[in-house]
Amino acid sequence: MGKDNNKNLLKNTATRLYSPWQLDDNKTWIDRSYRFGLIPKDDDFKTCLDENMANTILRIEQEQLERNAHLREEDSADEIGCSLARFQSTQCRLPKALKIIPSLSNWGEILFLTDPSSWTPQATCQVTKLFLANIKATQTRQYLELVLLHAMRGNLVDRADGQLDPALYRALKKALVCNPALFMKGLLFPLCESNSCTVAEACILANVLGQTKIPAPQTATALLRLSEQTFTLPICILVRVLLEKRQPLPYRVVDILTFQYFCQRERAITRLPLTWYQSLQIFTQSYSRDMVPTQKRALLELIQRVSRNDDISAAIDKTIKSAIKSNDQELETTTDDSDDTVVYNEDSDSNHSDDSMLID
């Protein structure tokens, strides 16, 4: 027995020497394992379950809060819409909740819950000023196209005199002054491309455009887009008011106006309106000296075909001929008193053959 006890003692001593944490007492080993995180305790399992349940409860509460917030937004939007439908004076204050809408991610949905079609013109003017100062470019374009444009067209239909409310006129002018490019993209181009623009709407926009200073790039872009639209009297009115600004135009715009807007429209329409002749007169007076011989020849032949034997046709003919004679190196003309025909020097056109751009 003594020998067996000595062997066990030596075995335990060797074990402690090389593995001091492996003890004979199982409970002590488990306790130390808990201490070093080797075996999770039952409390840890309870903690994990408690955390999962807490996250689930928080998620459910958050969903309920979002639903309640959405319901509150609808109720608040209804209140804002009722307030804007009774808004009559610029001295009145807008609802405070309305000022928060531009900062929301779903501002469009909340805004349309207020029913913009029921707003008064004074409310539309004030809301336009608020949104132009607090929303981004893409949002501004959507607002102009979906709210302000419909408000203008609806007001013209509702009024018996065919005049736009002064508050909406101020809103249009404010939008054009703040950002002319977005005004063109969000209001002018959608209206013209809808093929339903009336003369009254074109006259109002022409008045706004004529009384507001617009950068030359925006004017050139507008003329380029309008010249590609179907020829109607409203389009002709808008083209004339943009040409009256007499701003510098790129060669491409001048070329498209010459061949596509004036020459091709003359062949497609039997009776041209007076506005078209006025636009042609302004165009020749402002840009004839910058044209190449091909463009000058096309306009001269055009006015001879559509001459009305009045002061406008005579003025256009005189303007083109004076521009031709001003540069003898480009084009030489001779007028025969008997048949009033014009003879051109073809040699002078060879230098500008590459500059011409005929558009079918």
Q: Are residues 220 and 338 in the same domain?
A: yes
Q: Is residue 9 part of a domain?
A: no
Task: Please identify, among 169, 203, 237, the residue that sits at the C-terminal boundary of a domain.
Answer: 203
How many C-beta atoms surround the C-beta of residue 272 within 10 A?
A: 16
Q: Are residues 239 and 350 in the same domain?
A: yes
Q: What is the pLDDT of residue 18?
A: 44
Taking the C-alpha atoms of residue 278 and residue 315, their distance in angstroms, rounded to an integer, is 10
The first and second tokens of residue 12, run together, are 């335990």
The first and second tokens of residue 69, run together, are 């917030």
Minimum mean pLDDT range among 120-129, 132-141, 341-350: 341-350
Q: What is the pLDDT of residue 91?
A: 65
Q: For the residues 273-298, what does the mean pLDDT come to?
A: 87
Q: Is residue 18 part of a domain?
A: no
Task: Please identify, among 152, 177, 203, the residue that sits at the C-terminal boundary of a domain.
Answer: 203
User: Looking at this protein, which amino acid is placed at residue 12?
Assistant: N
Taking the C-alpha atoms of residue 212 and residue 165, their distance in angstroms, rounded to an integer, is 18
Q: What is the pLDDT of residue 180?
A: 94
Q: Are residues 91 and 128 in the same domain?
A: yes
pLDDT of 84-98, one tens digit each?
Answer: 888 877 667 888 878
Q: Is residue 257 part of a domain?
A: yes
Residue-range definition of the domain harbouring residue 312: 215-360
Q: What is the pLDDT of residue 77?
A: 73
Q: Total structural domains in the chain?
A: 2
Using pLDDT thresholds of 50, 70 and 90, give the confidence band for residue 3: low
> For tokens 């506005």, what's the residue?
275
Q: Are residues 84 and 194 in the same domain?
A: yes
Q: What is the pLDDT of residue 63?
A: 62
Q: What is the DSSP letter of 96?
A: G
The first and second tokens of residue 248, run together, are 């510098």
Taking the C-alpha atoms of residue 185 and residue 138, their distance in angstroms, rounded to an integer, is 10
pLDDT of 149-197, one tens digit each?
Answer: 999 999 999 888 878 999 999 999 999 999 999 999 999 999 999 989 9
Q: What angle do CA 289, 291, 297 make, to 5 degrees?
A: 105
Q: Are residues 105 and 63 in the same domain?
A: yes
Pseudo-torsion of CA 18, 20, 22, 25, nearest 10°? 140
pLDDT of 193-239, one tens digit each?
Answer: 998 999 999 999 999 999 999 999 999 999 999 998 888 899 999 99
Task: Please identify, among 145, 179, 203, the residue that sits at the C-terminal boundary of a domain.
Answer: 203
Taking the C-alpha atoms of residue 48 and residue 307, their distance in angstroms, rounded to an integer, is 92
Q: What is the DSSP letter of 243?
A: H
pTM: 0.68
Q: What is the pLDDT of residue 198?
A: 93
Please give the backbone phi and psi of residue 342, each rounded to the nearest 5 degrees, phi first.
-115, 130
Taking the C-alpha atoms of residue 150 and residue 339, their distance in angstroms, rounded to an integer, is 55
Q: Is 338 helix (H, G, I), strand (E, B) or coil?
A: coil
Q: Are residues 276 and 299 in the same domain?
A: yes
Q: Is residue 5 part of a domain?
A: no
The proportion of the chain whose per-residue pLDDT surpasses 70, expressed as a percent, equals: 67
Tally of helices (H runs) and strands (E runs) in the chain: 19, 0
pLDDT of 252-277, one tens digit each?
Answer: 999 999 998 888 766 666 678 888 88
User: Looking at this protein, which amino acid is placed at residue 55?
Assistant: N
Pseudo-torsion of CA 80, 83, 87, 92, nearest 10°? -90
- Choose among 353, 334, 336: nearest CA to 344: 334
Q: Are residues 316 and 233 in the same domain?
A: yes
Q: Are residues 132 and 277 in the same domain?
A: no
Which residue has better confidence, 38 or 54?
54
pLDDT at 322 over 70: yes
Q: Is residue 1 part of a domain?
A: no
167 Cβ contact partners less than 8 Å away, ≥ 6 residues apart: 90, 120, 121, 122, 124, 125
> For tokens 């636009």, what's the residue?
279
| Length in residues, the chain | 360
- Choose among 115, 89, 121, 114: nearest CA to 100: 114
Positive/negative CA dihedral, 27, 31, 33, 38: positive
Taking the C-alpha atoms of residue 250 and residue 266, their distance in angstroms, rounded to an integer, is 23
Minimum mean pLDDT range among 45-49, 145-149, 305-309: 45-49
Q: Are residues 337 and 188 in the same domain?
A: no
Q: What angle do CA 116, 117, 121 make, to 5 degrees?
A: 85
Using pLDDT thresholds of 50, 70 and 90, give the confidence band for residue 36: very low
pLDDT at 27 over 70: no
Rounded to the nearest integer, the mean pLDDT of the chain is 75
